[in-house]
């Protein structure tokens, strides 16, 4: 019989006595324990040895346990100090602690165990040691000493020490190896040790050495390291899918600056210049030169809408309107700035109805970070320009859009935006928590917005949160799971966006 070298060594070592553990075999053969374990399993599979497994517990003192084994348990030291200071009478706590040389957390440990173990009473700042208590008979102290000396101790005391974190118990599997009858026979008949190799080389082929070596077997069941390729972030994947869906619904994509003039971000939207959202608290203002490239006639019409209103009903705000403020640059808080650029004709020229446009782009808001708010997030912006649009068209568009993502239960709540009338917030139900979460905002642009832009028909528009759509699709409930340093890597790795 021919066997790999390590198996022959183990078999020989195992034959020396009745039963040997892996550790003993490793020592006897000078092989690594894991090599011995591998050889033992191969030998067992060939029926040459049998293996019995027993689980052993070993108990180890923690650092704190070692310290108490040397210096004494804190409660015992407290008791002794109390007797010393008070000669058997009650003593002031502060005095005893000073005399006991206990420090920091040990004082609390001493006090809580003092009363529990009957060393005395603690009453309004005084410590009364019990004269009958016997620290020499302290079971826990005795057990610590025994363990330090390598002796066994009673299970109950061990539980107690473990609950005080003075010991840790570890379980180990001990494997004992015995030669089987076949093993004994094989050894008697003689076993040849074959050099084992794990790969064939050209030299082995030319020298003919390949005929004498033993090849290690492939273990196709061994745990292999996990290999992970790169992949697109699920947010990006979902954004791509949103774009596909909207293109499929006949929309064209808008593009434009992340840092833009307040004119496009707010003034065109009939947002009064003293609106709270336009203050320095909410706005990420940039210290860069103002925007020059804005059509003068458009500025005039927007200014006039703010000051005097448009049409017969509107009255405007009559508050000051500053062109400098309108030209100042900030990070966009919504992508409705893009809708303004496109609707005004500034981007792609005058548009004839019907038209549909969208963007899936980042926006920036000075919000407080929490499970549903980030300082930057993706907005799904969109608008439809056509004659005679109604709220039904708006709702129908959302129902169609969200149904592509398996979301069929959209709810609408009347809302107020300075730039749309009527306006609606959209809500969807979270698949895990059942909560209604806000997923977007929408409405029909007002006359005060459309007229300065030169648009003569209806425009319905919206801004939806991409991250919230993801929450509804995948059920996570903290937006920070998909963004930033706290993101949930497993979620990001395992979630596949369905196409």
The 190-219 site mask, x for binding ligand PHE (CB under 6 A), equals ------------------------------
Question: Is 380 labeled as ligand-binding?
Answer: yes
**β-strand pairing of 196-197 with 167-179:** unpaired
Find the shortest distance in angstroms from Cβ 381 to ligand PHE: 6
333-392 residues in contact with ligand PHE (CB under 6 A) are: 334, 336
The number of beta carbons lying within 10 Å of the beta carbon of residue 41 is: 14
The number of beta carbons lying within 10 Å of the beta carbon of residue 203 is: 9
**Which region, judged by CB under 6 A, interacts with ligand PHE, from 75-83, 116-124, 163-171, 455-463?**
455-463
Question: Is 21 labeled as ligand-binding?
Answer: no
Residue number with CB closer to ligand PHE (186 or 455): 455
Among positions 31, 83, 186, 461, the unique one binding ligand PHE when judged by CB under 6 A? 461
Coil/strand/helix, residue 396 = helix
Find the shortest distance in angstroms from Cβ 417 to ligand PHE: 5
The 404-433 site mask, x for binding ligand PHE (CB under 6 A), equals -------------x--x-------------
Coil/strand/helix, residue 437 = strand
The number of beta carbons lying within 10 Å of the beta carbon of residue 473 is: 19
Question: Is 37 labeled as ligand-binding?
Answer: no
Residue 463 touches ligand PHE, criterion: CB under 6 A: yes
Find the shortest distance in angstroms from Cβ 346 to ligand PHE: 17
319-338 residues in contact with ligand PHE (CB under 6 A) are: 334, 336
Report the distance separating Cα 341 and Cα 336, nearest Å. 9
Report the distance separating Cα 6 and Cα 13, nearest Å. 11
Helix (H), strand (E) at residue 378: strand 376-386
70, 71, 73, 76 alpha-carbon torsion, rounded to 10° = 130
Q: What is the DSSP letter of 344?
A: T
Beta-carbon contacts of residue 115 (< 8 Å; ≥ 6 apart):
121, 122
Find the shortest distance in angstroms from Cβ 320 to ligand PHE: 24
CB 113, CB 77: distance < 8 Å? no
Question: Is 92 labeled as ligand-binding?
Answer: no
Dihedral-angle region of residue 234 (phi above 0 means left; psi in -120 to 50 means alpha; beta otherwise): alpha
Question: Is 381 labeled as ligand-binding?
Answer: yes
Among positions 364, 402, 462, 476, the unique one binding ligand PHE when judged by CB under 6 A? 462
CB 323, CB 299: distance < 8 Å? yes
CB 358, CB 246: distance < 8 Å? yes
Find the shortest distance in angstroms from Cβ 464 to ligand PHE: 8
Residue number with CB closer to ligand PHE (347 or 488): 347
Residue number with CB closer to ligand PHE (135 or 257): 257
Q: What is the CA radius of gyration of the chain?
A: 40
**β-strand pairing of 120-123 with 259-261:** unpaired
Residue 83 touches ligand PHE, criterion: CB under 6 A: no
Tokens of 291: 């925007």
With CB under 6 A as the rule, give the number of residues binding ligand PHE. 10
Residue 442 touches ligand PHE, criterion: CB under 6 A: yes
Residue 29 touches ligand PHE, criterion: CB under 6 A: no
**Which region, judged by CB under 6 A, interacts with ligand PHE, from 47-55, 85-93, 397-405, 461-469?**
461-469
Binding site, annotated residues for Mg(2+): 421
Q: Which residues are annotated as a binding site?
A: 336, 379-381, 419, 421, 445
Give the residues lining the site for ligand PHE (CB under 6 A).
334, 336, 417, 420, 441-443, 461-463
């Amino acid at each position: 019989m021919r066997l790999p070298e390590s198996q022959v060594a183990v078999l020989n070592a195992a034959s020396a006595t009745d039963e040997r553990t892996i550790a003993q075999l490793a020592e006897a053969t000078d092989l690594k324990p894991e090599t011995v374990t591998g050889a033992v399993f191969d030998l067992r599979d060939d029926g040459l040895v049998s293996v019995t497994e027993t689980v052993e517990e070993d108990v180890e003192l923690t650092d704190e346990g070692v310290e108490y084994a040397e210096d004494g348990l804190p409660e015992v030291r407290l008791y002794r100090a109390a007797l010393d200071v008070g000669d058997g009478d009650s003593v002031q706590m502060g005095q005893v602690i000073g005399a006991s040389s206990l420090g920091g957390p040990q004082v609390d440990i001493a006090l809580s165990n003092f009363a529990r173990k009957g060393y005395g009473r603690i009453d309004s700042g005084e410590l009364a040691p019990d004269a009958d208590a016997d620290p020499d008979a302290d079971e826990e102290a005795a057990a610590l000493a025994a363990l330090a000396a390598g002796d066994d101790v009673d299970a109950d005391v061990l539980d107690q020490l473990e609950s005080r974190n003075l010991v840790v118990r570890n379980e180990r599997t001990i494997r004992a190896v015995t030669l089987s009858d076949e093993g004994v026979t094989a050894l008697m008949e003689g076993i040849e040790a074959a050099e084992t190799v794990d790969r064939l080389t050209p030299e082995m082929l030319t020298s003919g050495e390949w005929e004498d070596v033993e090849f290690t077997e492939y273990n196709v069941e061994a745990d292999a390291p996990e290999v992970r390729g790169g992949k697109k972030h699920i947010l990006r994947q979902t954004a791509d899918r949103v774009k596909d869906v909207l293109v499929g619904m006949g929309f064209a994509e808008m593009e434009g600056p992340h840092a833009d003039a307040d004119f496009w971000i707010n003034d065109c939207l009939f947002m009064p210049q003293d609106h709270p959202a336009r203050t320095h608290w909410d706005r990420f203002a940039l210290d860069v030169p103002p925007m020059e490239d804005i059509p003068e006639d458009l500025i005039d019409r927007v200014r006039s809408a703010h000051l005097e209103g448009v049409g017969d009903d509107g009255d405007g705000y009559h508050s000051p309107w500053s062109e400098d403020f309108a030209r100042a640059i900030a990070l966009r808080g919504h992508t409705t700035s893009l809708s303004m650029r496109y609707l005004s004709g500034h981007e792609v020229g005058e548009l004839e109805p019907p038209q549909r446009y969208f963007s899936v782009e980042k926006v920036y808001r000075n919000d407080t970070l929490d499970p549903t708010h980030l300082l930057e997030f993706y907005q799904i912006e969109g608008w439809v320009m056509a004659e005679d649009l109604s709220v039904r068209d708006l709702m129908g568009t959302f129902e169609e859009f969200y149904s592509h993502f398996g979301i069929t239960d959209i709810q609408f709540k009347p809302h107020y935006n300075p730039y749309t009338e009527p306006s609606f917030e959209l809500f969807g139900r979270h698949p895990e928590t059942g909560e209604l979460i806000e997923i977007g905002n929408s409405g029909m642009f007002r006359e005060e917005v459309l007229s300065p832009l030169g648009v003569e028909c209806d425009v319905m528009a919206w801004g939806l949160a991409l991250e919230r759509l993801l929450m509804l699709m995948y059920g996570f409930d903290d937006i920070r799971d998909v963004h930033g340093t706290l993101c949930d890597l497993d979620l990001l790795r395992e979630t596949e966006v369905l196409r």
